Structure 1
Amino acid sequence: MATTEAVPAPSVRRRSLLRPLAFVGTLSVVLGLLFGVPWWSLVMAGNEWPGAVQAVGTVVFAAALVVFPVTMFLGHGRRADWAARIGDTILGAVWILFVWAIAGDLLRLGLLAGGVADPVRSRVAALFTVVVAVGLGLWGYREAMRVPRVRRVEVRLPRLGAGLDGLKIVQLTDTHYGPIDRVAWSKGVTEVVNSLDADIVTHTGDIADGTPSQRTEQAAPLADVRARMARVYVTGNHEYFGEAQGWLDHMQSLGWEPLHNRHVVVERGGDRLVVAGVDDRTAAGTGLEGHRADHDLALDGADPDLPVLLLAHQPKQIDAAVAHGIDLQLSGHTHGGQIWPFHYLVRVDQPVVQGLTRHGERTQLFTSRGTGFWGPPFRVFAPSEITLITLRAGA
């Protein structure tokens, strides 16, 4: 008996063809704007630069436009660190130029209203853009590469027992050990953490871009982190771009407690606190067996009368925390926007960009700006942090 193969419906075939075309089209528009706006503002517009200057400027922007997607693909798709360093730096630099080229164009309009003619008007705007962008780029690079400052936060938990009043928690998050060798930086972070004399040290995910074998040296100083009660870790979304289970195992080998949908209980002065953790919200979509954000499993066996500190990488996971009666969730992921004004785009995806917020009657959320940085080695108006959180008991 003859068999026939199912043939996809025309509408299905059209959708499968449209998706990659839509992606390529969107990417082309974004890249065209990112590189085209500063090119036009600095090189063309009404500047009336000599032809040689316009030619050189055009070649520079065109070369960057070609090199950028290639190095990003090689760097983050094929894990070639040299390419990632180039692509990430171009991304950060062109974003800063794009933002301040727009500001320069607004200045150009103001000068036009004031009666200033070209080429003076456009040259003043171009000079403004270059000076501000270069200044912020240099400052932002220094901010990204420095050991973070300590941010001190007090959080009052009504259900916390008096014996745990003053409990000190240090939060690390988004260290993103990656293409730039930051072994010395990692050692500096550990020294600062140990100086804070914490009861609990947490790492709320995005530990690295790469596998444990690639980032062994950068992560090694985490073994020297000291805490009186516990050192605990949960996965972020970037672990699922590499080896999530490998990082859980590696952190355990460094003496940390991986909270892979589980909890531990700490006690002081006769009072106890549940410290729980869940996988990143993207874990379930990876198909990795046993990986998903499972609050029920994380709290299984915990005394419901005890206060709960939850580690969950993304602020977006707060709704599940509220539903499970969590007292305080610690998150990262947002980097505080990392390079201004990117935080406006982050806010579209996440309920919070940074800081302490309340959700529902019981649950509070603290979102760190992150200890390290992802990709572009710049931080502009979004400083990194090592967070010291002091818990206080009572209403």
Structure 2
Amino acid sequence: MQETPASEVESVAKARPRRRWRRLVVVSVIMLLLFGLPWWTLVAAGTHWPTAVVVLGTVIIVGAMVALPTMMVFGHGRRHRDWAAVTGDVLLGAAWVFFVWSLLGQVLRLALFAFGVDDPARSRIVALSVLAVATTLLVWGYAEAMRVPRVKHVDVRIDRLGRGLDGLRVVMITDTHYGPIDRSRWSTRTIDRVNELDADVLCHVGDIADGSAEVREPQSRPLEHARARLARVYVTGNHEYIGEAQGWVDYMADIGWDTLHNRHIVVERDGDRLVIAGVDDATARGSGQAGHGANHQAALADADPNLPVLLLAHQPKQIDQAVAAGVDLQISGHTHGGQIWPFNFLVRLDQPVVHGLSRHGERTQLYTSRGTGFWGPPFRVFAPSEITVLTLRST
């Protein structure tokens, strides 16, 4: 056995504290910006509020800044306290909205300056406007997040689709993210809405929950009663790999769904057939969970190459492999449409598409859903949730 030199061990040991300190510095800078700009805009920037208002505003903002990382550690760390996770998620969403609109408030400040409005009137107008807009968006965004999603209808023309499959209704849900907020009633109402849509094929494209199947089963239970004529199919998302992916694969199989764990099934109607394949999430291979990892070749092994292929893959950026595999239509979620504007612009840095139908290569199309639920902060701002009905059309 070859021993690791003492100098190398010492070097690694020294590197770890340095990385921790760098992370701490980065997080501290982000927190100061996230809370510092709203504090400056609402409390300090030439507003000349009474002392009591300044003190109260400062206490609230500093308290939120301290509480956010504390609640995140207790809620999403090893302890998994749902009450702490909810508190931290709400604070994160509120901080982001107030930061964005405090930043945009500086445009109003410049406009007022150009029109000759002096302080403290100018700064108070900006502060009150930011407070009113951000609060309104948070209330509205919460209502949007908690409502049963709207139904979005999309026609998709597929050249290789047989006439017998023309009009096939593929109902798509994704990113339900059952989590710290108990949404059992929401789940029941959402599946009731799905069942009204007369699906031929029903797809869940990953991120069922944040937590294990055992812990989140009361919220996911309505999935057992979801209906479709030909098939109910499911693939894993990245959040399954934060928790217990195999547990969710087993759970969905136990309640009667086809779990497309790098495999496919074939559905038939009026003499024409469609391959429905699924691959694991892009993060699966690096998760360390044995037997998991996206494998398009395995998913399409022994499939008739002349048949059209519908592929479930959680992340839009898995589209390149789909193009190489000759897939006709990939359906994905993951992006949430950004969930809280303008986060969609940051999502675009990581994903080729944020939302909607797009074409990639000569054959392959991609539909990216905004998602059916929400992750983390219980807000949706300018990114509504959806249940998607994809009607497949032959040419």
The TM tier, using the shorter chain, reads over 0.9
Q: Distance in 2 between matches of 1:202 and 1:9?
A: 49
Amino acid of the residue matched to residue 391 of structure 1? L
Q: Structure 1 residue 287: deviation in Å?
A: 1.1
Aligned to 2:283: 282
Amino acid of the residue matched to residue 7 of structure 1? S
SS of 1:215 mapped into structure 2: helix
Alignment RMSD, CA only?
A: 1.2
Aligned to 1:164: 165
Aligned to 1:131: 132
Structure 1 residues 93-148: Cα deviation after superposition (integer angstroms, max 9, x where no partner) = 11111111111121011111111100000000011101111111111000000000
Q: Distance in 2 between matches of 1:96 and 1:263?
A: 42
Q: Structure 1 residue 4: deviation in Å?
A: 8.0
Q: Distance in 2 between matches of 1:177 and 1:195?
A: 22
Aligned to 1:27: 27
Aligned to 1:196: 197
Q: Distance in 2 between matches of 1:344 and 1:236?
A: 21
Query: Equivalent residues in 2 for 1:67-216 (5 A)?
Result: 67-77=67-77, 78-216=79-217
Structure 1 residues 283-327: Cα deviation after superposition (integer angstroms, max 9, x where no partner) = 000111110000001001101111100000000100100110100
Q: Distance in 2 between matches of 1:126 and 1:195?
A: 46
Q: Distance in 1 between matches of 2:5 and 2:235?
A: 46
1:47 aligns with 2:47: yes
1:244 aligns with 2:245: yes
Q: Distance in 1 between matches of 2:12 and 2:181?
A: 43
Q: Distance in 1 between matches of 2:370 and 2:333?
A: 6
Amino acid of the residue matched to residue 55 of structure 1? V
Structure 1 residues 7-51: Cα deviation after superposition (integer angstroms, max 9, x where no partner) = 218875664443222211111111111111101100100000111
Q: Distance in 2 between matches of 1:305 and 1:108?
A: 62
Aligned to 1:235: 236
Q: Distance in 1 between matches of 2:300 and 2:185?
A: 37
Q: Distance in 2 between matches of 1:356 and 1:4?
A: 53
SS of 2:349 mapped into structure 1: helix
Aligned to 1:62: 62
Q: Judge which range, 106-115 or 232-241, deviates more.
A: 106-115
1:225 aligns with 2:226: yes
Q: Distance in 1 between matches of 2:19 and 2:300?
A: 40
Amino acid of the residue matched to residue 169 of structure 1? V
Amino acid of the residue matched to residue 100 of structure 2? V
Q: Distance in 2 between matches of 1:378 and 1:164?
A: 38
Q: Structure 1 residue 192: deviation in Å?
A: 0.8
Amino acid of the residue matched to residue 187 of structure 2? S
Q: Distance in 2 between matches of 1:18 and 1:159?
A: 56
Q: How does the TM-score come out when normalised to structure 2?
A: 0.97
SS of 2:214 mapped into structure 1: coil
Q: Distance in 2 between matches of 1:10 and 1:293?
A: 37
Q: Distance in 2 between matches of 1:323 and 1:64?
A: 48
Aligned to 1:18: 18
Amino acid of the residue matched to residue 119 of structure 1? P
Structure 1 residues 72-96: Cα deviation after superposition (integer angstroms, max 9, x where no partner) = 1111112110001100000111111
Q: Distance in 2 between matches of 1:123 and 1:4?
A: 63
Amino acid of the residue matched to residue 186 of structure 1? S
Q: Judge which range, 287-296 or 103-112, deviates more.
A: 103-112
Q: Distance in 2 between matches of 1:151 and 1:343?
A: 19
Q: Structure 1 residue 348: deviation in Å?
A: 0.5
SS of 1:382 mapped into structure 2: coil
Q: Distance in 2 between matches of 1:26 and 1:130?
A: 27
Aligned to 1:36: 36
1:359 aligns with 2:360: yes
Q: Distance in 2 between matches of 1:130 and 1:297?
A: 53
Q: Distance in 2 between matches of 1:352 and 1:11?
A: 42
Q: Distance in 2 between matches of 1:297 and 1:26?
A: 41
Q: Distance in 2 between matches of 1:4 and 1:110?
A: 64
Q: Distance in 2 between matches of 1:99 and 1:240?
A: 31
SS of 2:213 mapped into structure 1: coil
Aligned to 1:316: 317
Identity of aligned residues (%): 63
Unpaired runs of at least 5, structure 1? none
Q: Structure 1 residue 370: deviation in Å?
A: 0.1
SS of 2:337 mapped into structure 1: helix
Aligned to 2:349: 348
Structure 1 residues 240-293: Cα deviation after superposition (integer angstroms, max 9, x where no partner) = 111100000011111111000000000011111000000000000011111000
Q: Structure 1 residue 5: deviation in Å?
A: 4.0
Q: Structure 1 residue 6: deviation in Å?
A: 3.8
Q: Structure 1 residue 229: deviation in Å?
A: 0.4
Q: Distance in 2 between matches of 1:148 and 1:90?
A: 24
Aligned length: 392
Amino acid of the residue matched to residue 392 of structure 1? R
Q: Distance in 1 between matches of 2:9 and 2:74?
A: 36
